[in-house]
A = this chain, B = another copy of it.
Amino acid sequence: MTAPNPPARTGADLLCETLLAHGVDHCFANPGTSEMHFVAALDRQPRMRCLLGLSEGVVTGAADGYARMAGRPACTLLHTGPGLANGLANLHNAKRAASPMVNVVGDHATYHLEHDAPLTSDIESLARPMSHWVARSPSADGLGEVAAAAVREARTPPGRIATLILAADHSWGATTAGVPAAAPLPRALPPDAAALLQAAAALKRGAGTVLLLAGDTLRAEGLALAARIASATGARLLAPQANARVERGLGRVMIDRVPYVVDKALAMLKETTSIVLVGAKAPVGFFAYPGKPGSMLPPGCEVITATRPGQDGLVALRELAERVGAVGAAAEAAARPMFAARRDLPLPAGALTAAAVAQAVVALLPEQAIVCDESVSSGREFFPMSWHAAPHDYLQITGGAIGIGIPLATGAAVAAPGRKVVTLQADGSAMYTLQGLWTQARERLDVVTVIFSNRRYAILHGEYVQTGAGVPGANARRLFDIEDPALDWVALARGMGVAAERAETAERFNAVLAAALKQGGPFLIEAVI
């Protein structure tokens, strides 16, 4: 069988050129046969950085981490419906994080679909729940326009998931169509004046009002504005339970989160008479429980949407600060106690507990580290302790779809070379996408993964008790516990080319973590707690 002639410029070339011209130059991928011409196009564009994930949960989760730190979309390359399906859980997290992303999902040639070949499936039906925008390639010539539209969608504030289904015959079809010129980026919409008026009035009532920030306003500038507003009015500053990215640590505003546990959230918010939402949604229970409310707000609480997602929260905060008189040096000085100041950060000693792990990470965290937190129940100690850690970015699982931690860290490290990434990772969740460790090794990424090795889905033990069924029996324990056999995380990491050590005491953990943070490249620590 002889190879066919070298192709002319293909639709895939046009797609690739358009992505690059519109600022998309990272491609997280796990390709298949129907995407071969797109791979050939990538091959002709060394400017496009291609990163392989050994399962699609790694691909989409890494693209999410990249977007959160780079502030712009990467593209993913996924193979037909099943390849997309494998990446959907982390797309779900990315959609909840409002991360910009362009997915290229390969499909059969248009004329091949009628044959219902084995890999045929309804890709649109799979894509829609986890995408803001889904389109199918119209032709080889039309791939420039549709790719430009995908990037524009992805970059529409606060960030959207755009999924482009690429037919193989459009990918390999010849084209001479030009690359669409890059248009100005879509901008955040201005806040509504009436909403700000109402918000300012509620804030001025002070005690009883909560100012709930989400999205971009959880970075230094937004937080500083919000702190001045809170200190000037007596309103309470809060963040949602899960956030795409928060700037935290020394010198940053100590903003608390709405707790995950329903009873704690209800208790925290029970005196709230008004809540002012800046890009946030009114807090609700992560799950429903018999006899407990779905909304975390007390009955009669006034809900004021100062800005919706996609409106400019920073502009809103600046205007609210003006309206409540929280401007000038005096207001700044008054807000000072809300900013974290240095305190002693001792290292833990003795038994290795979840709290000891958190304490060691807080004490040793390098300046400008990026913390990726999927520690689930084990890591609840970290957030309150880490107000006084070195300044860092804090990235969380946002959509409750476990298996984001390792991929998220992978993408964040790609986006932010020179910054150390620390992943706080529950063991059960880690197993969903442990394949991401290989990508960290392949790309020599500067990631230290801390596995909270409690050998169980600890959160489910807690949730089971809430059902009133008593102590978990044989069947429940077989579904909750990951012992018998215990996972050997050191072996798993080394099997994928990542150096690793186990720690069973606080002293050992301190030493291993300190060494791991000093060296370059990926490292995994199994913290047996």
Contact = CB atoms under 8 A, between A and B. Distances in A.
A344 interface: no
Contact of A479 (B31, B92, B294, B484): B31
Contacts of A474: 43, 46
A435 B287 CA distance: 27
A323 B222 CA distance: 83
Interface in A486-523: 486-492, 494-497
A438 interface: yes
A196 to B, nearest CB: 24
A109 B469 contact: no
A291 interface: yes
A470 B36 CA distance: 12
A438 to B, nearest CB: 7
Interface stretch (A79-87, A228-236, A268-276, A313-321): A79-87
A411 to B, nearest CB: 16
Contacts of A475: 39, 42-43, 45-46, 48, 50
A281 interface: yes
A492 B482 CA distance: 16
A291 B108 contact: no
Contacts of A92: 81-82, 85, 121
A118 to B, nearest CB: 4
Contacts of A85: 85-86, 88-89, 92, 126, 130, 401
A96 interface: yes
Given A7-B467, A487-B495, A401 B287 contact: no
B34 A468 contact: no
A109 B285 CA distance: 11
B286 A117 contact: yes
B119 A294 contact: no
B476 A43 contact: yes
Oligomer: number of copies: 2
A484 B442 contact: yes
Contacts of A494: 488, 491
A52 B399 contact: no
A1 to B, nearest CB: 6
A403 B3 CA distance: 30
Given A37-B467, A85-B89, A117-B286, A492 B496 contact: yes
Contacts of A442: 484-485
Contacts of A263: 1
A468 B121 CA distance: 27
B485 A281 contact: no
A264 to B, nearest CB: 9
A4 B290 contact: yes
Contact of A118 (B44, B96, B111, B128): B96
A310 to B, nearest CB: 16
Given A45-B475, A168-B288, A467 B399 contact: no
Given A40-B469, A475-B48, A86 B287 contact: no
Contact of A172 (B39, B286, B467): B467
A307 to B, nearest CB: 18
Interface string A24-66: 0000011111101101101111101011101101000000000
A1 B460 CA distance: 17
A129 interface: yes
Interface string A423-458: 000001001101100100110000000000000000
Given A438-B485, A496-B492, A476 B39 contact: yes
B33 A459 contact: yes
A111 B294 contact: yes
A404 to B, nearest CB: 10
A478 interface: yes
A176 interface: no
B33 A463 contact: yes
B466 A4 contact: yes
Contacts of A489: 495
Given A129-B122, A288-B169, A476-B40, A497 B469 contact: no
18 contacts: A30-B479, A40-B476, A44-B473, A46-B475, A55-B432, A81-B92, A82-B401, A108-B288, A112-B294, A118-B400, A119-B287, A119-B400, A122-B128, A125-B126, A438-B482, A442-B484, A487-B497, A492-B492
Given A4-B291, A487-B495, A490-B495, 19 more contacts: A4-B290, A29-B479, A34-B287, A40-B476, A42-B475, A50-B478, A54-B431, A82-B92, A85-B86, A85-B88, A111-B288, A111-B294, A119-B286, A119-B399, A126-B129, A169-B290, A438-B487, A485-B497, A492-B496
